[in-house]
Structure 1
Amino acid sequence: MCRLLGVVSAVPVSVSDAVDALTLKDFVALTKIHGDGWGIARVDRADGLPQVQVSAGSALDDAAFDAATAQGRAVASMVHLRWATNGLAVRPENSHPFLADGIAMAHNGSIKPIAPLEEMLEADTAATLRGTTDSERYFALIRQHRRTAPSLAEAVRRAVAQLRDRYPEASLNALLLGEGQLVAVDAHAHSRLPTEDIEEITAADLPAEHLEDYFALRWARPDDGTLVIGSTGFGDLDWQPLPPESVTAVSLSDLSMSLHPLDDGTHG
């Protein structure tokens, strides 16, 4: 399980300046349990390729994280705080965002059992995997669909719809950055936190939203030139819910939003 934060801006800006320092501080405070690694992806212009920086350590009191979020300026950024799924190693290759084919991706959820997901991957796609996470395999499935899909958003929608049929209770929430867009997946309609995770959140005294709607994704416009997408549990912004069971694409060139429901109406 993880926390996600995405920023799109009309002009290059740091994550800290885009969301304000207090909101970022709230976000980093979630490392009480989301301390199994962090990562950030950014693009410096609307048609640029994402660059990714990851660590297997906690973001709290990490000078590299502070520099990445306070000094790195970009027209789009996404930040990930990892809470490792039980049994998965805490090491850099398992830290999000993953980067391949000019696209970066971070996931909040758990896709179990992993074997059916791996069976969806063609041999050449599977050969590109570096780590052991279900999240990286989810990303690989998206990249596989991108070969035939007319757009990144449609490739994401197809992959999520395919996974939803096999994993109806999994959280497939994700952020992707690339091809001039920040793409957000809000797909968690039947997801529930395991009892042991609820107990850990309670013991860590995290915000009540973590228990009320841990998997929700929200968006806000702090000003006319900035759009933010984030998980629950941090920030006093004017948050609005993302449309459920859908893919939302934000254009880096003009901050416009387009909606792609998982059920595209082709099944009657």
Structure 2
Amino acid sequence: MGNMRTLHSTTMCRLLGYATANENISLREVLGAQSTDAFRELSEIHNDGWGTAMVKEPDQTAHVTDGGAPSPSTGSAIYRNTIAARYDSIFGDLASVPMRGGIWHLRLASSNLPLVLENQQPFYASGLSFIHNGDISDAQGRNITTNRAYPVDHTLVQSTGGRSDSAIYFAIVLQYLGYGYELEEALAQAVRELRDAYPDSSYNCIIQSRDQLIVLEAHDNGPTQQDVLDVYAQYGRAAEAADYRTVRYREITGADGARKGVVAASSGFAQPADEGWKDLGNNRMIVASNRTGAFRVRSI
């Protein structure tokens, strides 16, 4: 199957993230075993590597001076691999690790950007992890990475560790943070700026800090691009691409029905309304706390 793919200009990634009420819960517990396996199997198509970033309530007591730096109040970890998730046994291990919040990315490389670890997501800089589904190119298919005149702080791009359009997107968010905006508004401002130059691109993304999870759906209003449909069709899964850019979310609840946070994901695995899944909607974002599990939805 891996040789069936055709060249395409649209980034084809799948995103997932969740935030809890300050409680360590694994991905497998949040989604259930069947949905976790279904998300992983999307890497049949999205087979150019994967990654995850996790924030965790540490088992060790915080702020203990033990000869080095004081022990942290939040454990942070990132894993990235150029191997598809379905072939990486570490995926199963990490899907069972309890965490206060986590983001997950399945990649299918776009615009002929190289399959190197530097371009694997999540990117991490300034205490934030970032994942993106979308190709930032103009109407002629010229990716933003070729636009040397685009006004972005290249020091910030370098700080992300990446060399892709997604790294530039993240750097622009960091730029607006530097201007004094709060994280959610820095993201909204970055999208507004990028849309002035690249109006037809997709900006679906998830950002995670030690305190917050922000999930954004932002794209043009046209139908799913033909190259996306073509790639899915090669795997006999064309019908699954109809809602390709849709992001859905649902509350995380305990066995007693108590609210414990929120999970959001790209389409591609079953997300039935009768299980609480809701469409986020274009140009809307979830702003969630991974300290309290509280969240709200706003427009950009």
TM-score > 0.5, shorter chain as reference? yes
Q: Which has the larger radius of gyration?
A: 2
Q: Does 1:53 align with 2:91?
A: no
Give secondary structure in 2 for the equivalent of 1:228.
Answer: strand
1:208–1:233: 8 Å Cα contact kept in structure 2?
no
TM-score by length of 2: 0.80
Q: 1:127 to 1:97 in 2, by over 3 A?
A: closer
What amino acid sits opposite 2:115 in the alignment? V
Residue from 132, 153, 158 that aligns with 1:107: 132
Work out the CA distance in 1 between the residues paired with 2:232 and 2:251: 28
Bigger shift: residues 201-210 or 172-181: 201-210
CA offsets 1:126-177 (integer angstroms, 9 cap, x no match): 4435332101111111111111233111111111111122211111000000
2:292 corresponds in structure 1 to 254
Give secondary structure in 2 for the equivalent of 1:225.
Answer: strand
What amino acid sits opposite 1:172 in the alignment? Y
What amino acid sits opposite 1:166 in the alignment? A
TM-score by length of 1: 0.89
Q: Does 1:196 align with 2:227?
A: yes
Q: Does 1:216 align with 2:242?
A: no
1:170–1:190: 8 Å Cα contact kept in structure 2?
no
Listed as ranges, the gaps of 5+ residues in structure 2 are 1-11, 59-72, 138-142, 254-258
2:38 corresponds in structure 1 to 26
- Size of the aligned set, in residue pairs, is 260
1:184–1:249: 8 Å Cα contact kept in structure 2?
yes
Q: Does 1:74 align with 2:105?
A: no
For the aligned residue pairs, the C-alpha RMSD in angstroms reads 2.1
Residue from 14, 17, 36 that aligns with 1:6: 17
1:95 corresponds in structure 2 to 120
Work out the CA distance in 1 between the residues paired with 2:28 and 2:16: 11
1:3–1:108: 8 Å Cα contact kept in structure 2?
yes
Q: 1:61 to 1:124 in 2, by over 3 A?
A: closer
How far is the alpha carbon of 1:89 from its aligned partner?
Answer: 1.0
Residue from 34, 47, 57 that aligns with 1:35: 47
